[in-house]
Chain A
Amino acid sequence: MFLQQLINGLTIGGIYAMIAVGYTMVYGVIQLINFAHGEIYMLGAFFAVSFIAFLHLPFFVAFLLSMACCAICGVLLDVIAYRPLRNSPRLAALITAIGMSIFLQNLAMIIWGSRPKPFPHGSLPEYFEKTAVSFWGVNLSWFHLFIFGITICMMIGLNLIIRKTRWGKAMRAVAQNKTMAALAGINVNRVISYTFALAGAMGGAAGIMVSAYYNSLYPTMGYLAGVKAFAAAVLGGIGSVPGAMLGGVVLGIAEALGAGYLSSLYRDGISYAVMIIVIVLIPAGLFGKVLKETKKSM
């Protein structure tokens, strides 16, 4: 029982971590809480289902294609909504982010309808449901393994991108100081777009996996997942990528265990409570730096 809950928590936590990474990367680069990130996650799921339903693509192809679409959506979001406000007060950008989130959510409602849908019948590979490993009374399906695998691969890949590549170096430079980065010949806007693309692709992948895991997707699914992932990012210390990963996993486990042993009614409340407590007591999170806020919020 405990182990099963732990496994469930790890599965969901890994997915939270993937979304949280998107929040934290964007925050690191442009100091904006991208409220619309949860909507990218939702769009990822809908893109994948649409590709499967209308183009009859196999699941894995649709998965990759949908990630690419989400990356494009992330870039478009930045270019259309956030870039014109880059030098505005923070309040303006924050309000824009909320506005975009609500706009996208309702756009999805218009396009795909507001009722929850399942994945098209038979579109998920059959072996997903079957038990892959069984130990100490815990059954791990292939789908669990698939989610673990994808999550771990993406996390490692992301870390490699950030630490080893030129783009990653540029991202870190922009996060530290935009002006100096620009002086050093970095195209700041392009780096920001690239960050949004990475965040979008990760968020989209998370959306597809969650919707396939529960076999249900609906336009408002991004809201709750976005909030929880944001809580995870805050827990890890916003702006810190390893922090967001750890925060997601911790939050997922806390939620699964809390729902299993304390009260399933307050399952969603756990993440809000964690978020508030962390912000009030240790605003820097587990790994974050204390923010030096010289600029006023408005």
Chain B
Amino acid sequence: MVNIKKMTLGAKFRIGLLALALILPALPFATDYFLHTVILIYLYMVLALGLNVVPGFNGLLDLGYVGFYGIGAYTAGLLTVHFGFSFWTIVPLAFLNGALWGVLLGAPTLRLTGDYFAIVTFGFSELVVLFLTNEIWLTRGPLGLPGIEPVSLDLSLFGGPRWEFVGEVPYYYLAIALVLAAVFVMYRIQDSRLGRAWFAIRDDEVAAVSCGINLLTYKVFAFAISAAFGAVGGCFFARWVTFLSPDMFKFWESFLVLCMIVLGGMGNIWGVMVGAVVLVSLSEILRELLPLLGLPVEVRFLGFGLIMVLMMRYRPAGLLPIPAVAAQMRSGRVRRKKVKATVGLNK
């Protein structure tokens, strides 16, 4: 039995949050809309945790994350509509498909330096959207893919009942399970050999190579894992909203997830989750507020753009910075200033 008195404040706080999350649907103010928003927050937490691997753990900018999200969502949608696969078999399949595309895209391009890599990922996600829009025989294109079955839990194989997910509450708990799994995996990876190698790469590539880390292998691993998380997020999304359309996977989504990471603190698992909470809530509030002011709903991205710019200016390592990233963001400024002062004759 765990002794509650011996736990640190942080652990108590986390357990309290988890307990609150678990009883949330039973609270009186938990309407369907409210739960829907919270599920959205959980979904974006998974996505942000996945994306975090690339910019946060490896220091590479990934602008095409939504491509993998879309691949996962359409994998789930098509397998469900055409072959009637169950959610529980689709999740690993989507995971593998995401990882596969991550490797296919990452292996040739991860040798590139930061800017070029960002551009390639961006181009990839746009190509994914074009593919989903134009290959009408497969995806029904802009008409969208309706009629995806909701998730069901079929225990008849073991003599149990079959349970269809109706309403938001079952999805709510499914989403919590996904978030917990993602957080667990991320913590385990972060403390593993893989995670340490990534941090070494992020902090100093040259030093990492000279310690015997194969840059390309580890970066491809990172990219594949990130892509796989995106695909699982997409898989959940497909079975939750039961309708897909290529418009859902435009660059904006990548930007939004990136914004969460930047806001919360790149590389910080708790930070990116906080980022997801803040931005999804803000987005929902603005969605209500903007029409009252007579503005189109898309304008909320104005705020997100501004958040990115201001964060980079005043708090580049995010709201909950981790020391390594903060030092890097700062050291860049200081080191360069010194070069200027000593006139840079050694250059």
Contacts and interface: CB of A to CB of B under 8 A. Distances in A.
Contacts of A85: 312-313
B119 A279 contact: yes
A231 B332 CA distance: 29
Interface string B237-249: 0000000000000
A69 interface: no
Interface stretch (A40-48, A132-140, A147-155, A268-276): A268-276
A4 interface: no
Given A88-B332, A183-B343, A106 B298 contact: yes
A273 B298 contact: no
A114 B298 contact: yes
Contacts of B301: 102, 105-106
B305 interface: yes
Contacts of B333: 87-88
A179 B328 contact: no
Contacts of B304: 99, 102
Nearest to B114: A297
Contact of B130 (A84, A101, A102, A266): A266
A189 B310 CA distance: 21
Interface residues of A, number: 55
B305 A177 contact: no
Contact of A179 (B123, B126, B130, B340): B340
Contacts of A266: 130, 134
A126 interface: no
Interface stretch (B79-87, B88-96, B105-113, B168-176): B105-113
Interface string B109-149: 10011111111101110110010011000000000000000
A110 B302 contact: yes
B347 A95 contact: no
A100 to B, nearest CB: 6
B126 A279 contact: no
A102 B114 contact: no
A156 interface: no
Interface in A150-182: 177, 179-180, 182
Contacts of B116: 279, 283
Nearest to B202: A298
A265 B131 CA distance: 9
B298 A109 contact: yes
Interface stretch (B13-21, B53-61, B158-166, B188-196): B53-61
Interface of A: 33, 81, 84-85, 87-96, 98-107, 109-110, 113-114, 177, 179-180, 182-183, 223, 227, 230-231, 234, 263, 265-266, 268-269, 272-273, 275-276, 279-280, 283, 291, 293, 296-298
